[in-house]
Amino acid sequence: MENGLERGIFELLCYMIVSARNLDQETKMYGPFRLVDAASRLIEILEESGIGDEFLSQVRSMIEANKYKVMTDKEGFVAFLDDLALKMVGRLKEAE
């Protein structure tokens, strides 16, 4: 795996598969955390490969700024996920 994109995607897959295995025994809120963290990692890979865009970079910044609320502020974490979901919906709607 010399290619950075290939390696990045492979390592992301490892992360997702091991997360699926470990989440069986972990706290329930780590499920949403791992998913949104995987989204951030995917955007980072796209950015490093020159195929990201400004909108996705904003999404990643939002994730990085808010993801650790899962440990100290569960309601705030869920509210952040709601805001993020609506941001994605706004982009979906624009693409109609």
Partner 1 sequence: MRVFEAIKGRRSIRRFENRSVDKKVLQKLVEAGIWAPSGGNAQTWVFIIVTDPRRIQKIKAVSPGMLGIPSALIVVCQDKELAYEKGGEIGRDTLSIMDAAMASQNIMLRAYEERLGSCAVLSFHKKGVQTLLNLPERIVPELVICLGYPAESPKPPERKFEEICFFEEH
- Cβ proximity to partner 1, 65 vs 86, nearer residue: 65
Among 28, 72, 95, 96, binds partner 1 (CB under 8 A): 72
* Nearest-approach distance from CB 68 to partner 1, in angstroms: 7
Per-residue exposure over 38-66, b if at least 16 CB sit within 10 Å of its own CB, e if not: bbbbbbbbbeeeeebeeebeebbebbeeb
Among 6, 68, 74, 79, binds partner 1 (CB under 8 A): 68
Among 5, 9, 30, 62, binds partner 1 (CB under 8 A): 30
The packing angle between helices 4-23 and 30-48, to 10°, is 180
